[in-house]
Structure 1
Amino acid sequence: MTISAAPNRSADKRVTSAGYTALGWVVVFFAFHIYWYCGGSFASPGKLPSLSPEPNRLETSAGVHRLVAWLINGTVEAAWPLGALVCLTIARGWARGRLASVTRALAWVGCVVLLLRGGAGILDDVTRATGVLANGITGLSLQDETGHAHLRWSDWGVDWYFLAGGIIFSVLAVRYRTQRTHSRTRTTDGPVPRWATRLAHLIPFMVLPSSLWRLAAAFGFPLGMLTSTGELDAIRGWPAVYIATISLLAEAVALTAFGLVRPLGEEVPRWLPFFGGRTVRPKAVIVAATAGAVALILIWTVGFWDVWTTGRPGAMANSFWAAVFTICYAPLNLWGPALLLLTWSYHRRVTGRWAVSSRG
C-alpha cells in the first residue's frame, strides 16, 4: 500500500547527490585532520593550529595575527559536525518549515566561510610565491605559520580544497528545496505481535552484559585475566581499541532486531546514504536474519561449548572472576534463538499467514 507520492524526482536526486557530495567533503576534511593530529605526515600542511591559543605569545607584535588565525582555523575545524549534520539533513530531506530555512541558511554560511578561507589561503600563497608580500596577507612568516620555510604542494592543496568545498556548498545551497516528499510502501500484511515487540527490546539487553565486560577490559581493568606468566593481564593500546569497537558493534547489530518488528524491515532508513527510502525485499530480510541467527548460535553456543560445560573461560585469577565472565556471556546463548523467533514472526506477517491464522 503506497502512502504518499514523490513529485519531481529528478530535482530530488540532484539535491541528494549534492548533499552526499558535500558530506563526503566534510568527512575527508575531518579524517585528514585527525590523521595529521595523530602524527601523520602525508599532505600535511605543516604545524597545525594549537587546540588552544597561547596567552604568553599574544603580547608580541604577531600575537594579534596568531589569535585571529587561531580563531578562524578553530571555527572552521570545529564546525565539521554541524556541517556533516546539515549535509545529511538536506540529502535525506529531514528538515521542514522553519528548520528547512535554517538548514539552507547554514549551508550558505558554510559556503561563504569556505570560500573566504580557500580564497584567502590561495591569495596568501600567491603573494608569498611571487614575493609581493614576504609574509603574505597574514603578516606571519611561513615558518611561524606552518613550521616550514618554503611553500609546499600541500599548502596549495589544502587551500584549493577549502575553495572546492565552498563551491560544493554553494551548489548544495542553490539546489536545496525546502519541501520534499517521499513514498513508502508497506510490505507486511499483519500486525506485530506484542511478544515479538517485547523480545526485540530484550535482545540488546542480552548482549549488554558481555559488552560491558569487554569495555571494562578495554579501559584497563584486568577482570581476573592472567598472562602466561600468571600475572594480571591489563589490555592496552590497539587491542583495547579493537575490543571496545567489537563491543559497540555487537550492540549495534543487536539493535537491528528492531527491523523485524518496526518499519525498518519494510523500508531502508532515509538517513542511510544511497539506499535510504527504498523498499526492503522481505525475502532478503528473512535470509539475512536466519543466517545471522544460525551464525550467532554457532559462535556463542557451539564455539564456547567448553566454557558452558566446564565453567572455565581461560586463565583466570580465581573462580569468582570465571563466574563473572560466564554470567556476562551466558545471555548470548539466547541471542540466536530469539532472532530466529523474530524472523519466524516476520515471515508469517509478510506472507499474510499471521492475518489468516488470526481470523481463523
Structure 2
Amino acid sequence: MRAGTRTGYATWAWVLFFIAFHVYWYLGGRFGHPSPLPEVSFDVFGVVVTAMFVVGAVIPLAAVQSWGRVIPHWLLVAALWTGCAVLTLRGLAGILDDVLRTTGLGPGGLTGLTIEQVTGTAHPGPDIIWSGRATDACFTLGGLLFGLTARATRAPEPPEAQERRASGRAAHTRR
C-alpha cells in the first residue's frame, strides 16, 4: 500500500473517530467533554456542521479509492486543504488559548474568556484541563492528516500516459 493511501485511510479513520465522539456526546456521554452539548437543532449552524461531517468522511476516501476520480482533482485537493486549514487553525488556536491562560500572559486567552467562563468553574480539575488539551491536540492531528493526504493526492494521469505505461508493461511481459 502506498504511503499516500495509508495517509488517506488514516485521515478517514480520524474523521470516523471524530464523528463517533460527537454522536456519543450528543447522546449524553461525558467522557472527554464534561459538560453536556446543546441539543441538536437543524438551524443553519447545525446543517453546516452536519455537511462538514459528511464531506469530511467522503473526501479522504475519495482521495484513495478509484470512485474518487469522478471528483475533479482540483476540487478534491481544495477540500483536503480546506479541512487541513480549518482543523489546524482550530487546534492551534485552542492550544495557544490554553498556553496564554496557563502562563498568565493572557488570563482571558485568545477569546477574552476566563477559565471559569470556559469550564464553568474557577478551579477545574485535571480531567477538565486535560480533556480540553486532548481536544485541541485531536483537532491539530486531524489538520495534519488532511494536509498530508492533500500533499499525497496526485492528479490522474492523462490517457496517453496510461496507454504508454500499459504498452510498456505488455512489451516487458513478452520478453
Q: After TM superposition, is the score higher than 0.5?
A: yes
The CA distance in 2 between the partners of 1:74 and 1:118, in whole Å, is: 22
Is the counterpart of residue 138 in structure 1 residue 97 in structure 2?
no
Separation of aligned partners in 1, 2:121 and 2:37: 11
2:134 corresponds to 1:162: no
**Pairwise CA distance, 1:76:** 5.8
Equivalent of 2:60 in 87, 93, 97? 87
The letter for the 1-side match of 2:141 is: A
Taking the TM superposition and a 5 Å limit, the aligned residue runs for 1:342-357 are none
- Written as runs of structure 1 = structure 2, the 5 A alignment for 1:58-97 is 79-96=52-69
Q: Which amino acid counterpart does residue 172 of structure 1 have in structure 2? A: T
- From the superposition, tell whether residues 136 and 47 of structure 1 become closer, same or farther in structure 2 (CA, over 3 Å): farther
- 1:258 is matched with none
Evaluate the alpha carbon distance shift between residue 98 and residue 32 of structure 1 in structure 2; reply closer, same or farther with a 3 A threshold: closer
Residues 155 and 45 of structure 1, relative CA distance in 2, 3 Å threshold: farther
TM-fit CA distance, 1:134 = 1.6
Q: Does 1:24 align with 2:1?
A: no
Matched to 2:111, the amino acid is T
State how far apart, in whole Å, the 2-side matches of 1:34 and 1:44 are: 12
Structure 1 length as normaliser, TM-score? 0.38
Q: Report what 1:111 is aligned to.
A: 84
CA deviation after TM superposition for structure 1 residue 141, in Å:
2.8
Note the residue ranges of structure 1 that are not aligned, 5 or more in a row. 1-9, 53-70, 182-360
What is the CA-CA distance between 1:78 and the residue it aligns to? 5.0
Deviations 1:13-53 (A, max 9, x none): 2222111100110010111111112111212253536656x
TM (norm. structure 2) is 0.74
Number of aligned residue pairs: 151
Contact 2:28 2:36 in 1 (8 A): no
What one-letter code is carried by the residue in structure 1 that aligns with 2:146? F
Among candidates 97, 100, 121, match of residue 94 of structure 2: 121
Q: Which amino acid aligns with 1:145?
A: V
Give the aligned residue type for 2:10: T
Whether contact under 8 Å (2:84, 2:144) holds in the other structure is: yes
**Rounded Cα–Cα distance in structure 1 between residues aligned with 2:106 and 2:39:** 25
Kindly, what percent of the aligned residue pairs are identical?
A: 40
**Is this contact kept in 1: 2:15–2:57, CA < 8 A?**
yes
Q: Which has the higher contact order (CA 8 A, sep 6+)?
A: 2
Match of 1:94, SS state, is: helix
Classify 1:49/1:140 alpha carbon distance in 2 versus 1 (closer, same or farther; 3 Å): farther
Cα-to-partner distance string for 1:301-354 (whole Å, 9 max, x where unaligned): xxxxxxxxxxxxxxxxxxxxxxxxxxxxxxxxxxxxxxxxxxxxxxxxxxxxxx
Distance 1:143 1:29 in 2: 26
Q: Which residue of 2 aligns with 1:172?
A: 149
Structure 2 gap segments, 5+ residues each: 159-175
Letter in 2 for 1:15: G
In structure 2, do the counterparts of structure 1 residues 113 and 125 end up closer, same or farther at CA, with 3 Å as the change threshold? same
Largest Rg, 1 or 2:
1
Separation in structure 1 between the aligned mates of residue 48 and residue 113 of structure 2, nearest angstrom = 20
Please show how residues 176-325 of structure 1 align to structure 2 within 5 Å.
176-179=153-156
**Equivalent residue for 1:353?**
none
